[in-house]
Structure 1
């Protein structure tokens, strides 16, 4: 009987451990600065915005967190300084992942066709300097960086059914030579495996899409935003290599509200309605579902955490922050 009892206790304990929810979150911190090294400087001194962002993350207590608008540098000093601040606040993330984004990388070309070179619009992704407004992934659990897949270098023309802009006479925008070199991702698109305590690999798919505004009649940014969103559906279809195996979660800033503002609404609607994903529709403490408030547009929903269909969602929410116009969006899941 002792043996049977021990087995039952073990099975009960294992079941309890499996039932422990995992909190996944995304947060556009808006910490990006206007020059290289400025964010690192502010992380190392008393800064009200930094303190407010750190406090928001501390309150969220996420197990896996995607962070947008965190400037990237080659030696990852900014990321390590950010991790250290979080640890001092009681929110330790021993594992981190960040790759060089397209943001701010000079192309040497006139990408927007305005006859001027070297502008932020002429970088592969908008930016005043290399790595401005980058993306990072923080995790309590091991990140398998050597098995990560990045689509940051994907040429726009290689996306199936792409919506690349055209000139008024119907040719490639701004011309055929430049269009053939354009990258789709404005910052990063990743699939990063995270090993959970039970040994399961959770595929974390993360991005930060371009805003669908600040362009001309060619709708360059609107079309780019749509294709950055639709890239995920092509990945799930297996048309850009092996489809990610569930369980997975897609999270980040899509810069597109399904009902309000600029942008191709069919793109974000298709993503939210795809049967391979589920949309928990998180709300804040006041039952509001918007994730950002801009003075020019008002409240909009642009930040998302979308677990794969086979995962069980146990709770979700939005934490407002004094450090960012964006709220931190979180979802609790379990298998």
Structure 2
């Protein structure tokens, strides 16, 4: 068994190094049948609503069409550890419990139910009033003046579901870290007043370090959802914020760079050297296309120890070809796309990531984006994002 594991590790290393790691239909359904393989995933499921309490009402019964589709996507891919972006935060885990009980625990359209005994969610910055005119429109109030854009506190929140224990006592959150406290922050010059910068939080939602206990080892699940680098003006305040939200994780996992960071409990510093981690989330940044500031995602892709398994799908290739429009002439390979924005600018993009660290080893990776001929193509309109997964030897 040890020899077989070593051979698998060698094969995975060569696959990553040569860029030939690819999903298979069987792996998408059942994962690699290898002892110790763990599937990590991220899914911007668009389970956000326009009013406080609306998601709770929709999940209270088992017949919300979009929630059923989101649950089926999860049941088809069957991740072991999953980040869901755009899941409105409700205190007391009530929305999470309803989603687990009324949707994930119920087989959807022939898919098998799935159980996640462990879950984590927490407050986010979206919709939290700042008390300042952050968008400089001459009035205070509304979603664009919140610490993160949102119509109510908790909109566009996050939740992590896991089949493995989450060490909640050791969780670190960075909801309150101030943007100006990042050395060399790319703040928009002259846009925010000193008083605004004194309270302005970097994270548009939050950044969480969740230690996941897998067997005798711990893997840190580093999750976030940076703001889109759009919906602003020539000052590029959202693009610059997206860049530094992404930089937070790059500094956190790079020895010697995260000393300035402080979490919400006051603990300083980044991740200890030698720790295993997986960075996941809708980063709203493509390595080459789109509107991100200075190719922001490359900060993580080029960080020491980070592995890019390059998950892809045939569905993304097909969509870019058939939709045309803004997809024509893009520099990045459509195979890697995870965000489906049709033919509108900037076209489909690679913006959702699951990035493990060495010594974790990717065995398979993919984006759940069925082709038009697949019976599962009916799930492609669940969200404007597609679930991204990676199987790891943890």
Same fold by TM-score greater than 0.5: yes
**1:29 alignment partner, SS class:** strand
Separation in structure 2 between the aligned mates of residue 102 and residue 125 of structure 1, nearest angstrom? 5
> Which of structure 1's runs of 4+ aligned residues deviate more than 6 A?
11-18
Could you list the per-position Cα deviations for residues 147-189 of structure 1 after superposition, in whole angstroms to 9, with x for gaps in the alignment? Answer: 001111100011121111112xxxxx22111122100000010
Determine the structure 2 residue equivalent to 1:293.
340
Separation in structure 2 between the aligned mates of residue 48 and residue 258 of structure 1, nearest angstrom? 34
Separation in structure 1 between the aligned mates of residue 130 and residue 336 of structure 2, nearest angstrom? 38
Determine the structure 2 residue equivalent to 1:283.
312
Determine the structure 1 residue equivalent to 2:88.
71
Separation in structure 1 between the aligned mates of residue 381 and residue 292 of structure 2, nearest angstrom? 27
**1:326 alignment partner, SS class:** coil
Determine the structure 1 residue equivalent to 2:69.
52
Separation in structure 2 between the aligned mates of residue 150 and residue 91 of structure 1, nearest angstrom? 27
* Cα distance change, pair 12–264 in 1 and its aligned pair in 2 (3 A): closer
Could you list the per-position Cα deviations for residues 90-128 of structure 1 after superposition, in whole angstroms to 9, with x for gaps in the alignment? Answer: 110110001100011111211122111111011111100
Matches within 5 A, 1:157-176: 157-167=180-190, 173-176=191-194
**1:75 alignment partner, SS class:** helix
Separation in structure 2 between the aligned mates of residue 242 and residue 251 of structure 1, nearest angstrom? 17
CA shift, 1:13, in A, is 12
Q: Give the unaligned 5+ runs of structure 2.
A: 9-32, 108-112, 262-268, 318-334, 370-379
CA shift, 1:260, in A, is 1.2
Verify the 8 A CA contact 1:105 1:125 in the aligned structure 2.
Answer: yes
**1:76 alignment partner, SS class:** helix
CA shift, 1:322, in A, is 3.1
Determine the structure 2 residue equivalent to 1:195.
213
* Cα distance change, pair 13–72 in 1 and its aligned pair in 2 (3 A): same
**2:211 alignment partner, SS class:** strand
Matches within 5 A, 1:90-109: 90-109=113-132
Determine the structure 1 residue equivalent to 2:11.
none
Determine the structure 1 residue equivalent to 2:42.
26
Separation in structure 2 between the aligned mates of residue 276 and residue 189 of structure 1, nearest angstrom? 20
* Cα distance change, pair 254–14 in 1 and its aligned pair in 2 (3 A): closer
Aligned residue pairs: how many? 320
CA shift, 1:267, in A, is 2.0
Separation in structure 1 between the aligned mates of residue 270 and residue 230 of structure 2, nearest angstrom? 32
CA RMSD of aligned residues (A): 2.1
Give the alignment's TM-score, normalised by structure 2: 0.77
Q: Give the unaligned 5+ runs of structure 1.
A: 1-8, 168-172
Determine the structure 2 residue equivalent to 1:267.
296
Choose from 23, 39, 42 the match for 2:58.
42
Choose from 190, 211, 225 the match for 1:208.
225
Separation in structure 2 between the aligned mates of residue 13 and residue 44 of structure 1, nearest angstrom? 47
Verify the 8 A CA contact 2:127 2:152 in the aligned structure 1.
Answer: yes
Give the alignment's TM-score, normalised by structure 1: 0.90
